[in-house]
Amino acid sequence: MRLDPRYTEFRPAPDLLADRVVLVTGAGDGIGRAIARSCAAHGATVVLLGRTVEKLERVYDTIRSEGGPEPAIYPMDLAGAMPPDYEALAERCGSELGRLDGLVHNAALIGVLGPIEHYSPEAWQELMQVNVNAPFLLSRALVPLMHRTASAHGHASIVFTSSGVGRRGRAYWGGYSVSKFAIEGLSQVLADELDGSVRVNSLNPGPVRTRMRASAFPAEDPQTLITPEEAARAWLWLLDARDVHGQVLDAQIP
C-alpha cells in the first residue's frame, strides 16, 4: 500500500512538536494510541482522552518509557458526556497546560454494519453521539483556547479523522458512513469559519491494521495493511503543516 507522496516526503525532526500540547481522542488503542506515541516522540505533551483508564495508563507508561514528555490522562466516555463535561475539559487544559496546539478527533464507533431498515434507533443515536456530537462539542469547547494558542505561538491545528465511506456512501455501512459524511461537513464548515491560524483539515487514513478494521473485514489479511504506527505520520504532518488548511486528504492512494 503506497502513501501519498506529500506524506512519504515528510521527514519529521525529532523536536518537531517540542513544547506543544496535543489532545488525542480515542488514545487508548489503535490509531489513536499510535498518534499519541508519535506526537510524544517528537516532543509534544499529549492529552490522552479515552473511555478506558487502564488503556490510557498503558499508553502513558509506554510514552514515558520511550522518553517522551509526561502526558496527561483524561478519562471521558464520549457516549455519555454532556456539554458541561467538555467545558470542564477546556478549563483544565487552559489552567493546567496553558495552551492547546493540536486537536486530533480520532475516537469513533463502527456501529452496526447492515441495512438501514434494520438499524435500531438506540444504536443509531449512540453512534451519532460518539462520532458526530462529541467532535462538535469538543471543538466548540476547545477552539477558544486554540485561538489564544495560535495568537501567542503562530498557529494551531485540528485534524478530523474521516473515511472512504464518508466520501462515497456504501451499502450496509449504515450510521458509520453517515457519521463520517457529517465529519467531513463539520470539518469544512469549521475550516471556512476559522482564519487559518487555527488550521482545520480532514484525513482519511485508508485501510489500517486495527481491530476496528478486522471487525469490518474479517477475511482480510492484516499483513497487507499498513500499521497504525506507519499511518500516524500523516497526522503528525498535518499537526505541523502550516500551509495546509481546509483540505480533504487521503493518506493512502487507492
Of 103, 93, 109, 110, nearest in space to 216 by CA:
110
Catalytically annotated residue among 7, 60, 86, 176: 176
> Is 119 an annotated catalytic residue?
no
- Kindly report the three-state secondary structure assignment for every residue of the chain: CCECHHHHCCCCCCCCCCCCEEEEECCCCHHHHHHHHHHHHCCCEEEEEECCHHHHHHHHHHHHHCCCCCCEEEECCCCCCCHHHHHHHHHHHHHHHCCCCEEEECCCCCCCCCCHHHCCHHHHHHHHHHHHHHHHHHHHHHHHHHHHHHHHHCCEEEEEECCHHHCCCCCCCHHHHHHHHHHHHHHHHHHHHCCCCEEEEEEECCCECCHHHHHHCCCCCHHHCECHHHHHHHHHHHHHCCCCCCCEEECECC
For residues 135 and 81, the answer to whether their CB atoms sit within 8 Å is no
Catalytic (active-site) positions: 176
